[in-house]
Structure 1
Amino acid sequence: MMDGTDESNILNSPSSTNNGATLEIVSPTNPLAGPPVEPATGTATNGSGSATSPDSSSSAPVTPAALGENALHVEISDALSEKEKVKFTVHTRTTLPGFAKKDNNVVRQHEEFVWLHDRIEENEDYAGYIIPPCPPRPDFDASREKLQRLGEGEGNMTKEEFKKMKSELEAEYLATFKKTVAMHEVFLRRLASHPVFRVDQHLKVFLEYDQDLCAKPRKKMAIFGGFVKSLGKTTDEILLSATVRDVNDFFENELQFLTEYHGHLREAALRTEKMTQRHKEVGDSHQKISNALTQLSTTEKGNMETFVAKTAEIFERVKNLETRVASDQDLKLGDTLRYYQRDSDAAKALLIRRLRCLAAYETANRNLEKARSKNKDVHAAETAQAEACEKFESMSACGKEELIGFRNRRVAAIKKSLVELSELEIKHAKTQYEYLRQSLISIKEIA
């Protein structure tokens, strides 16, 4: 079932900025939630390990009256990154009945997003729907470690070098931070735009209750328990696939396709990560050459000094261009592949739940045959068989609609990301070519 959310818009919002202290998030267009929200900008600092995302107050407000009837618009209007946690300000505007306020703000942490996902996943009434994947846990350890090492090594570099490296690390930190905010927001937007999930009571509590939901960070034993549970799900999947024969070709083909497709997505995401990493390494190599030439220019005089200094400047600019290319590749391709890797896993989970329901239906049929042959508890067996049949048919009808919607949404989003990536690659190539052409002319004039 199509949920109306174009998550590619939010997942592919710009992840790099010219100023390391400025963060920009573009809210996605949501047909079921009223008119699109204009991009908001705000200031963020992370020198002490904290950062804030834009404040939605700078954008044109969307009032409940402008949303239309039975609308639910959810966005993360602000976020604060602290040492051990990230606090998200969730802004809700709605005209749905049952909400105490039509315009409300609550502060949530990642664990509360996990709590909401788990409550929806545990609800048997939603077994026939694709549960939007839980957003990944925020991880800023690498960026914070780099910033800490930079602070410790401040005395071993010039003021300009320190300022430049600090600006680059802050930009990297904020890019990671913004992706985290985007992943959490698209999770809420998919729930809010889904015709069934949007009226879930747990979602209502999440959006409305202004106190802590008492969702604590998972401890080591809980994480180990989650691993065992995941292993059990995999075993269950293999067992069901081997023992239960699906009579519906559509679902059987979908399961085979998603199993293979998920593997291809995982492989493509890994290869994309390696590609972007190599691109960053090329940029780092240009930076090392630039640093060496800058040092060399201090020992030269006259035209030679100007020539070497200009060449160092060119290599540094090329480094920035290469880094931007790598950043766009990771944003437009890597993030999209990783997201649909999780989403395809959620779609596959729907098919496994349906197989489990089919197994229960077949068991009910066998129990009914036994009851009739023994002429004992026939009515109870007939009731159980009828309930199992109704549940299976309902799940099949709902699941087919969901899978068709997932296919359409996935194809449109990946196509959009690839087109945008191609356009950016062409733009960067033209920019780099023109810059190198102009640079060659300028150094020839110096020589």
Structure 2
Amino acid sequence: MTQLLQDKDYVVYFSDCVEETNHDPLSAPAAQTPGSIDPKLEKKKPNENVSLADNSLLVDISDALSEKEKVKFTVHTKTTLPEFQKSEFIVVRQHEEFVWLHDRYEENEEYAGYIIPPAPPRPDFDASREKLQRLGEGEGALTREEFLKMKEELEDEYLATFKKTVAMHEVFLQRLAAHPVFRNDSHLRVFLEYEQDLCAKPRGKMDLIGGLNFGFGSGESKSFSKHVYEQTKQTSFFLTNLFRNSDPIPKKPKQADVMRSMTTTTDEIYLGATVRDVNDFFEQETTFLQEYYSHLKEAVAKVDRMTTKHKEVADAHIRLSSCITQLATREQPPTERFLTRAAETFDKCRKIEGRMASDQDLKLADTLRYYMRDAHAAKAVLVRRLRCLAAYEAANRNLEKARAKNKDVHAAEQAQADACAKFEQLSARAREELIDFRTRRVAAFKKSLLDLAELEIKHARSQQELFRKSLQVLKECQ
């Protein structure tokens, strides 16, 4: 495993940073400090837990390179599916290309009844970089020992954030690869096997405000998807047409998330007020998911505040240890030994508190945050179903008008039958997806809380043993 962290340029080369991951962030590895990483670790094998029943398409992120403006992910794929040109691929992708892939699934009408895995969050290392910069500027006001300890803490925080970013991008790809329908999408094959830069761009802001007028996707995107499917074996040829009319990258990518959220919320409110859903199951699911999402959002904010305060407690041990060390240099030898041992105890306690805060962030905060986004994706399925129901009701009204005027009755009947079939098919798929989502999230939270409890017990025992030995040493110093 190779990793490099430079204070000046903040460049990280990170190899094998994600161990075996399941389809949720619960199995993302706990952050390792630079000192705890074994440089002689062997190259890890591709993830074998993508699907316990089918290993025909395995995807993992083996390496990642973080720079100031972007993160490059090395995506490794092994497959036995005949649709792919080779059995193994290694490509380099950026975050924008992950978002592009997610958008292709969202705009495809065939996937309207499925819960589309949420796009991975955009890499954000600004906070860690700003702390490192402020630490460098204030180096003169700190002792060398205090400076080195705080620098180590910030580097660990930066590395942990980087690891979680890689894990979230890997989880997104693994969920697509494990899904029996999503894995067959032509855009996923292009993403996994085309070795050159895709130059993919996320949807522009005007595309995100499509709402009811755009439905599930334009006719141009449908014909384009068909073109991609037919030309899969000639990758280098069709990629030119694939991205010729791509939208420019938004200058502020976070605005795209706001636009997407506003569009979904607006559609949800409008359709909820104008379309009457008589299906008790979906009506209950809509009510539940709205309340569930609100609770998760509130819980994420509170857990983030908790973990932040816990990290502040760990950081306070640095100053406390440093102050006691300085005080020890001015005392008599017996007192100096006592204070030195006390400072060492606080320094060791700081490391345990830091690990506890990191575990809470990984096992609890990240799990809540991931399933908040997954719940939003489930709400989007219900919104798409309401759109389809609205189209079905509009087809019924058009049929009544056609019969009243005795004009184009056959065409109206056909449109009404197609709308009915589409709505029933979408409803059946959505029901299965929502039931699966319920089972998946319960199992995920159970695993997360059990893992967190075991880690808390482990750290508490370590802290108890530390205090026991420290008290014994301090008594000997008296």
Give TM-score scaled by structure 2 length.
Answer: 0.81
Could you say if the C-alpha distance between residues 353 and 61 of structure 1 is closer, same or farther in structure 2, counting changes exceeding 3 Å? Answer: closer
Query: Which of 183, 188, 195 does residue 180 from structure 2 map onto?
Result: 195
Question: Secondary structure in 2 aligned to 1:395?
Answer: helix
Question: Following superposition of structure 1 onto structure 2, how do residues 253-332 of structure 1 map, counting pairs within 5 Å?
Answer: 253-332=284-363
Aligned-residue sequence identity (percent) comes to 65
1:351 alignment partner in structure 2:
382
Distance 1:328 1:73, change over 3 A: same
Q: 1:60 to 1:362 in 2, by over 3 A?
A: closer
Residues 110-189 of structure 1: matches in 2 within 5 Å? 110-154=95-139, 156-189=141-174
Q: Residue 78 of structure 2: SS of its match in structure 1? A: strand
Question: What is the SS of the residue equivalent to 1:338?
Answer: helix
* 2:420 pairs with 1:389: yes
Q: 1:445 to 1:197 in 2, by over 3 A?
A: same
How far the C-alpha of 1:155 sits from its partner, in A, is 5.0
Contact 1:69 1:95 in 2 (8 A): no
Q: How far has the Cα of 1:228 moved from its partner?
A: 4.0
Partner of 1:89: helix, strand, or coil?
strand
Structure 1 pair 225/104, CA: closer, same or farther in 2 (3 Å)?
Answer: closer
1:288 Cα deviation from its structure 2 partner = 1.9
Classify 1:409/1:61 alpha carbon distance in 2 versus 1 (closer, same or farther; 3 Å): closer
**Equivalent residue number for residue 16 of structure 2:** none
Residue 191 of structure 2 corresponds to 206
Contact 2:75 2:92 in 1 (8 A): yes
* Structure 1 letter corresponding to 2:193: E
Conservation of the 8 A alpha-carbon contact between 2:282 and 2:382: yes
The root-mean-square deviation of aligned C-alpha atoms, in Å, is 2.2
Distance 1:287 1:204 in 2: 50
Distance (Å, rounded) in 2 between the aligned partners of 1:70 and 1:178: 25
1:7 is paired with a residue whose SS is: coil
Does the CA-based 8 Å contact 2:73-2:92 persist in structure 1?
yes
C-alpha separation in 2, matches of 1:265 and 1:445: 51
Deviation at 1:321, TM superposition (A): 1.2
Offset of residue 154 of structure 1: 4.3
CA contact (8 A) 1:328 1:424 kept: yes
Is residue 362 from structure 1 mapped to residue 378 from structure 2 by the alignment? no
1:317 Cα deviation after fit: 1.3
Q: Distance in 2 between matches of 1:70 and 1:17?
A: 29
> Residue 231 of structure 1: CA displacement?
2.1
2:72 aligns to what? 87
Check the 8 A contact 1:69/1:96 in 2, yes or no.
no
Distance 1:127 1:114 in 2: 18
Give the aligned partner of residue 50 of structure 1: none
Deviation at 1:216, TM superposition (A): 4.4
Q: Which moved more, 1:146-155 or 1:242-251?
A: 146-155
Match of 1:100 in 2: 85
Q: 1:121, 1:233 → 2: CA distance?
A: 12
Letter in 2 for 1:92: T
1:6 maps to 22
2-side partners of 1:419 and 1:113: how far apart?
Answer: 31
Letter in 2 for 1:214: C
Unpaired runs of 5+ residues, structure 2, are 1-20, 203-248
Matched, 1:398 2:414: no
Q: Kindly provide the CA deviation profile for residues 326-376 of structure 1, in whole angstroms up to 9, marking residues without a partner as x.
A: 111111000000000000000000001001101110111111112112211
